[in-house]
Amino acid sequence: MSRRRKKKTRPEDAIEFDSDDLSAADDSADADVDGPADRSEQPAESPKQRKFAKRSPSLAGLVTRSLSAVRPAMPKRKANEKKPRTLQRWKLLTVLTGLAAVSLWFAPNVAVQFGLLSYVVDAVSADFDGEVEVASASLGWISPVRLHEIVVRDHQGQVIATVDEVTTERTLIALATNFSDLGRITIKKPMATVALNASSSNWEQALAAYLSSDESEPVSTGGQGSIHLEIVDGNVAITDVETQQSVSFNEIQLSATVESTGKTSISFESQCTQADDSGRAKASLVLQAPSDEEQPSSVSQGELHCELTGFPIHFVRPLLHRFAPSIQDVKGISDGAITFAWDNTTQRPALSLDSTLAVSHFSVFADSLGDDELTLDQINFRGDVSAKDGVLSVSSCQVTAPVGHVSIAGETRLESFDKIDLTQLMLDSIEFGRTEISGKIDIAQLAQLLPNTMQIRDDTQIESGQIVWQTQSSTTESGPHFEGTLQSHDIVANQRGRLIRLQEPVHCQFDVRRTESGFEVERLVGKSSFMSFEGSGRKLDGHVSTKVALANLQNELEQIIDFGDQRLVGQLTANAKWQRIDENHVNVSSRVDAADFSWHRPNKPVWTEKQLAINAQAKLELQGLNVVKIVSGQADIVAGREKLVVALTRPVGLFETRTYPVHIELLGDLRSWHVRSQPFVDTTFVQLAGFVDANADVQVSTNSIVVEASKTLATDLVVQLDGRRYAERKAVLTLEGDVDLSKRAASFPTATLASTSISARAADIAVDWTESIAASGKVSFRGKLDRISRLAGFESQGIAASGDVQGNITASHQNGTVRFTASIAADNPKYLAFQRTVRRGQPNRNQNGNWERVWQEPHLNVSASGDYDAAGQAISFDTIDIAAGTGRIIASGEIKRLDADWLADLRGTTEYDWSALSQRFQKHLGTQVRLVGKEKKPFSIRGPLLAQLMSDPQSVTKHVSKSGVSKPNSLVPPALVADAQVGWAKAHAYGLDIDQANIEANLQNQQVRFSAFELPLAQGKLAASPLIDLRDRDRPILHQSQARVLDRVQLSPELCRTWLKYVAPLLADTTQAEGVFSVDLNRATVPLYSPQQASVFGTLEVERATVGPGSLSRQFLNLANQIKAIVDGGNASRIVNADRLTIAMRPQKIQFEMREGAVGHQGLTMHFGDVEVTTQGWVTLDEQLRMTAAIPIQRDWVEGERMLQSLAGQTLDIPIHGTLRQPRLDSRAVQKLTEKAVRGAAESIIRDELGKQLQKLFK
């Protein structure tokens, strides 16, 4: 440390320290406290230690700052004054010593004031997951230590404990000089809150670091002192987080002493309360540590004594929910005392247990009891057990209750407390001394308490009955002997006043002796009305056989027990035997035969077997009397030609390995094996049918199954799952891999599937079903779309597909979901829809209907990537890309409820080429509609993609109306919603050129509504707001409500040659046309699958029009010339030349309609010069004519022809047949006109001549 030279000072002058000295001293002190500057090898500091380091100054720094604060200003010495250096140093030393003493005396208080207490608390609780706060402390060297208002919080900041005060009996200086003797520590009014959940508690989480520590060093007083801990007026509240049930232990008084000799004494007393109930518990515990220092953590001697007074046992509800969740509730009041003492200081330990406990008003609810509540007025426990010199003696152990009692008395061997084997204790009780176990159960009482558990009929009451058992062991001249009986008697029930007695109660006896070769069963017999069994033998040579009449068993018991709709029928015979074949081997075999067996269960398939045999045999290797190896073994189930065989493929040592290599063969009808498996495995969610031939080599252990090789052949396979029906004529599955049952995971390096629908190969498949099914791996497949769509059940939706498909799928399991990418290619795919009409009285299989092709592509490619959530049955797509020759769809989104209706939320864009699409739609639109343009439009889909599934469209019966047409099934689900846009660059439809357009469409409530639009068209406009109704999947219909769809459109020859010729047939084939017309629709209904069956009603309004002659108009012109020739005497001046003719249409309104494939009109008037023609009738879509033309005879045609004046104003009706291209006018109308003209001329001549003669006569 560097120090500056100081000037001489006078004695009266104050001592001053140079600031550099103080700084250096401070640095030096800090260095001493903090340690070496290089801290690379120091342990890492906790956050609490770093926190303290920032806020706690060094002791030297504190002293320096204190001196600086109190140093007064002193006058400077004169230059000529001198003082000896020694005296100056002594003064300095005296001041420093005084200051050090003062600092040391006040150090505890200074430590509290400057945060050292917080540092100590943080250091002590460094591993505590939370915070410990001390509001204040009283520290003095010659006074006890006191801590006030201690608060303990968990990591979430919740208060889990508070303490009013902690006081030590010894002073701080005494503790500092001898920390091994802590003396008495008193904790006043501690309050703790314990929150229990299903797997942990708030205190367990806070103390996790301490509980998980591997260090087990015992608490030691150092052999020089003791610890005495007292808790005064404590309170602990235990709460079940889920049920919010709580119990409080109040007024806790606890005293614990650990003496230097190793003796520990603990006494406990508390008042327990819950709601309005309360009780009291006392306990005392004395422990004595061994003197052997090699085992400092063990306890050699001890005694525990507990007393309960009015203690409600339902206080343990929060603990039951945590540690015994199957027990829902328990009630009762307990009184009694338990004393337990042990002494482990001798070679053979000793213990004693003396207990007397009574529980009144006891009741319990448990899962195993169903809806029943076991209620007992009183339960008494009495036990007196002791162990000494290797002998366990039970002088009296009894449990008594109103429903029965159990008592145990006897002796057995007990060498050690460390590992107690109950089975060995029972075996030793046969050989050693005398043991007696007896008991009785009152069936009548038990039936009253547990009627549902015992399934007692509602109309039946058990009036009496007992089950009594008694076993005892003794030692005779022939060796240890163990015998017992079990029987039921006096079982009487009352069923609606009729007494029922069991004809032959159950009776069982056994007699076992211990010989030099082991245990020998001299007799084992049992008999009842429905069963009998007998057996005898030794450990290495014996047999057991039994017979059971299942019908008798049920008939006997169902007088009292309600079996519901279950029925058991058949005879069971079982035999088992074992025989030693040489010194080291024994053969074991068994056989169970079931004859005429059937098991009827509600809502389950009936299990029926005419003859069923179960065989098992094994060869065992012995070492002495113990089995050490299974040399060979096989078990098989045979039912007719069906069998299941499980055979061990190599010897297995019982203690060398827990893995068993077996070969499995399964042959027979899948439906039968499926029914047989249901009592053991719940497979009701799936139905199987077909024939199976399977074999596999597997390694089976407790927690794993390794499939070394397997092959399964299924023919005529039918699987029904989730309402869908999958059918395959043939399927072959090969598989290799392993299944880890403990981890609920499986891996399969290779797997192949070959069937009539699809062939697939999988690699590196991993399956995990910890919470839900998740899989990863690679799969490549190839198949036929028609068979796959049928297999997937899409035909039940009235849709199907055809074509060839192949693809690859890669999946990986990440964070509970399956990440996948898929690539699929289809050649010549077709989309089909089923159209049918069901008529009343027709069988379902004879429905009229067939599959119609809706869409077809030469190639279709699909790529997708996303995540699959098996637990949530959902799939989310990062992208879906569907590309075909006509267009492309790119989308993203998700589909939920994959196990039901496929709830979708998808958004994307469509890209399409109208030139290609027009060709695809040509069947429905015809050649008269053409669209041009490459478009890209957005779309969205929300809602279920699938409606309610049906098993087979051919077998679905639908309601039929009086007209004979069935009520429809929808083409799309009712809740499906979609938005899209349709547009084109140019369009040409039925002679009209339409400019660029963009039309919005919305699907909702099974209807597609197009936004109202107006498009310029031939100097006029086209306006519409169509709607497509998809509620009938066999007949989607386009609707247009009343509106003017064409307004002042220019007439053109192409219009006349296309659709207008059906409304105005005289315009057909015209090469000249001009004018303006409009079309008003009253209503229009167009079936999209058959537009020729449209129903349309409207009005064609012509403002003006002139057209050239067509094939039909030329025929009318020729007819008009003939008429003129007849009535005008062949005046050539009235003959009209067709080549120079212009047909005029004056303003008019023509009513028209379309139905049943034909277009009708009336009131169409056209003028050919002075010839007026009015037509009405029908033109079919194949251009067949059924019309009538009306031609009125003009008056100027008969002017100058007095004899034909009567024809003027008459109308000539001419039927028209044939086709638009080759019309045929009925010539009989012209003949009738000629006859009228001749007849009129003759009548005129006669009338004129008669007039002349009358004039002569009267002259």
Looking at residues 1100-1118, what average pLDDT do you find? 83
Contacts 24+ apart (CB under 8 A), 579-582: 579/540, 579/541, 580/540, 580/541, 580/622, 581/619
Neighbours of 985 (CB within 10 A): 13
Token pair of 1163 as six digits? 């009131």
What is the share, in percent, of the chain residues with pLDDT greater than 90? Answer: 20
Weakest mean pLDDT among 401-415, 765-779, 976-990, 1192-1206: 1192-1206
Q: Is the dihedral of CA 206, 209, 212, 214 positive or negative?
A: negative
Is there a contact between 454 and 561 (Cβ–Cβ < 8 Å)?
yes
* pLDDT at residue 1002 in the model: 94
* pLDDT at residue 835 in the model: 64
Looking at residues 484-508, what average pLDDT do you find? 77
Domain boundary among 522, 555, 576: 522
Higher-pLDDT residue of 380 and 1125 is 380
* pLDDT at residue 136 in the model: 80
Higher-pLDDT residue of 825 and 923 is 825
pLDDT tens digits for range 1193-1210: 777 766 666 555 666 677
Neighbours of 760 (CB within 10 A): 17
Q: How far apart are CA 438 and CA 469, in angstroms?
A: 6
Are 81 and 133 in the same domain? no
* pLDDT at residue 351 in the model: 79
DSSP state of 1194: P
Q: Where are the alpha helices (DSSP H) in 840-900?
A: none
Residue 987 buriedness (CB in 10 A; 0-12 / 13-18 / 19+): buried
Are 280 and 398 in the same domain? yes
pLDDT tens digits for range 736-752: 999 888 888 889 999 99
Kindly tell me if the per-residue pLDDT of 617 is higher than 90. yes
Looking at residues 109-120, what average pLDDT do you find? 64
Token pair of 815 as six digits? 């964070």
* pLDDT at residue 931 in the model: 85
Query: DSSP assignment of 641-675, as one string?
Result: TEEEEEEE-S-EETTT-S-EEEEEEEEEEHHHHHH
Looking at residues 973-994, what average pLDDT do you find? 86
Nearest partner of 446 among 561, 559, 526, judged by Cα: 561
Is there a contact between 370 and 453 (Cβ–Cβ < 8 Å)?
yes
Q: The whole model's pTM is what? A: 0.51
61 domain-assigned:
yes
* pLDDT at residue 1134 in the model: 54
923 domain-assigned:
no
* pLDDT at residue 1244 in the model: 54
* pLDDT at residue 1176 in the model: 93
Give the pairing of strands 227-240 and 183-188.
parallel
Binned at pLDDT 50, 70 and 90, residue 228 comes out as: confident
DSSP state of 1067: G
Nearest partner of 935 among 904, 970, 980, judged by Cα: 980
Looking at residues 901-907, what average pLDDT do you find? 92
Higher-pLDDT residue of 966 and 435 is 435
Contacts 24+ apart (CB under 8 A), 162-165: 162/190, 162/191, 163/187, 163/188, 163/189, 163/190, 163/191, 164/188, 164/189, 164/190, 165/189
Packing angle of the helix pair 19-34, 59-70 (nearest 10 deg)? 160
Looking at residues 291-318, what average pLDDT do you find? 69
Looking at residues 551-577, what average pLDDT do you find? 79
Q: How far is CA 810 from CA 507, 878, 880, 923, 1172, in A?
A: 64, 15, 15, 40, 78
Are 91 and 123 in the same domain? no
Looking at residues 377-405, what average pLDDT do you find? 84
Rounded-to-10 torsion of CA 787, 793, 794, 799? 80
Are 745 and 809 in the same domain? no
Query: Over the range 1152-1179, which residues count as b (16 or more CB within 10 Å of their CB) and which as e?
Result: bbbeeebbbbeebbbebeebbbbbebbb
Is there a contact between 642 and 669 (Cβ–Cβ < 8 Å)?
yes
Kindly tell me if the per-residue pLDDT of 249 is higher than 50. yes
* pLDDT at residue 73 in the model: 45
* pLDDT at residue 1003 in the model: 94
Neighbours of 1202 (CB within 10 A): 12
Total domains in the fold of the chain: 5
Strands of the 929-932 sheet, one edge to the other: 929-932, 986-989, 992-994
Token pair of 785 as six digits? 């779309």
Are 179 and 102 in the same domain? no
909 domain-assigned:
no
Phi, psi of 35 (to 5 degrees): 90, -170
Are 187 and 336 in the same domain? yes
Give the pairing of strands 977-984 and 1013-1017.
unpaired
Is there a contact between 756 and 747 (Cβ–Cβ < 8 Å)?
no
Is there a contact between 1061 and 1220 (Cβ–Cβ < 8 Å)?
yes
* pLDDT at residue 1158 in the model: 93
Query: Considering the chain, what is the average pLDDT of its residues?
Result: 77
Kindly tell me if the per-residue pLDDT of 561 is higher than 50. yes
Looking at residues 1010-1017, what average pLDDT do you find? 89
Domain range for 837 is 770-901
Q: How far apart are CA 853 and CA 1179, in angstroms?
A: 29
Kindly tell me if the per-residue pLDDT of 104 is higher than 60. yes
pLDDT tens digits for range 692-730: 999 999 998 878 889 999 999 999 988 887 666 778 889
Higher-pLDDT residue of 223 and 474 is 474
Kindly tell me if the per-residue pLDDT of 98 is higher than 60. yes
Kindly tell me if the per-residue pLDDT of 1027 is higher than 90. yes
Token pair of 1018 as six digits? 């031939």
Under DSSP, is residue 967 helix (H, G, I), strand (E, B) or coil?
A: coil
Nearest partner of 1159 among 1249, 1220, 1242, 1116, judged by Cα: 1220
* pLDDT at residue 302 in the model: 80
546 domain-assigned:
no
Weakest mean pLDDT among 1-15, 36-50, 74-88, 1194-1208: 1-15
Are 38 and 84 in the same domain? yes
Weakest mean pLDDT among 580-584, 771-775, 1242-1246: 1242-1246
Binned at pLDDT 50, 70 and 90, residue 1227 comes out as: low
Element (DSSP H or E) covering residue 983 = strand 977-984
Under DSSP, is residue 255 helix (H, G, I), strand (E, B) or coil?
A: strand
Kindly tell me if the per-residue pLDDT of 1181 is higher than 70. yes
* pLDDT at residue 693 in the model: 94
pLDDT tens digits for range 1033-1070: 778 899 999 999 999 999 988 888 888 888 988 888 88
Higher-pLDDT residue of 960 and 304 is 304
1168 domain-assigned:
yes
Domain boundary among 58, 77, 109: 109
The size of the chain, in residues, is 1259
Are 693 and 795 in the same domain? no
Q: How far apart are CA 137 and CA 168, in angstroms?
A: 12
Q: How far is CA 63 from CA 23, 99, 851, in A?
A: 12, 8, 102
Are 230 and 82 in the same domain? no
- Angle among Cα 872, 877, 881 to the nearest 5 degrees reads 150
Residue 1081 buriedness (CB in 10 A; 0-12 / 13-18 / 19+): middle
Nearest partner of 731 among 751, 713, 752, 709, judged by Cα: 713
pLDDT tens digits for range 530-549: 788 888 887 678 889 998 88
Are 340 and 373 in the same domain? yes
* pLDDT at residue 951 in the model: 36
Kindly tell me if the per-residue pLDDT of 1228 is higher than 90. no
Are 98 and 130 in the same domain? no
400 domain-assigned:
yes
Q: How far apart are CA 652 and CA 629, in angstroms?
A: 6
Token pair of 786 as six digits? 């028609």
Under DSSP, is residue 132 helix (H, G, I), strand (E, B) or coil?
A: strand
455 domain-assigned:
yes
Looking at residues 338-346, what average pLDDT do you find? 79
Weakest mean pLDDT among 3-7, 173-177, 299-303, 1231-1235: 3-7
Is there a contact between 165 and 173 (Cβ–Cβ < 8 Å)?
no
Binned at pLDDT 50, 70 and 90, residue 234 comes out as: confident
764 domain-assigned:
no
Q: How far apart are CA 862 and CA 882, in angstroms?
A: 5
Residue with tokens 């009925």: 1226
Amino acid identity for residue 997 in this structure: A
* pLDDT at residue 362 in the model: 86
* pLDDT at residue 211 in the model: 65
Higher-pLDDT residue of 800 and 347 is 800
Kindly tell me if the per-residue pLDDT of 917 is higher than 50. yes
* pLDDT at residue 793 in the model: 63
Kindly tell me if the per-residue pLDDT of 771 is higher than 80. no
Residue with tokens 């498909």: 805
Beta strands in 371-459 (DSSP E): 374-388, 391-401, 404-413, 435-442
Residue with tokens 């699409």: 917
Binned at pLDDT 50, 70 and 90, residue 647 comes out as: very high
- Angle among Cα 655, 660, 666 to the nearest 5 degrees reads 155
Is there a contact between 599 and 567 (Cβ–Cβ < 8 Å)?
yes
Q: How far apart are CA 884 and CA 153, in angstroms?
A: 66
Binned at pLDDT 50, 70 and 90, residue 421 comes out as: low
Domain boundary among 502, 522, 542: 522
Kindly tell me if the per-residue pLDDT of 1160 is higher than 90. yes
Residues paired with residue 880 on neighbouring β-strands, in sequence order: 864, 891
Weakest mean pLDDT among 105-109, 990-994, 1179-1183, 1218-1222: 105-109
Residue 1073: left (phi > 0), alpha (psi -120 to 50), or beta? beta
- Angle among Cα 424, 425, 430 to the nearest 5 degrees reads 95
Rounded-to-10 torsion of CA 472, 473, 474, 480? 150
Are 1184 and 1215 in the same domain? yes
Weakest mean pLDDT among 369-373, 551-555, 794-798, 1249-1253: 1249-1253
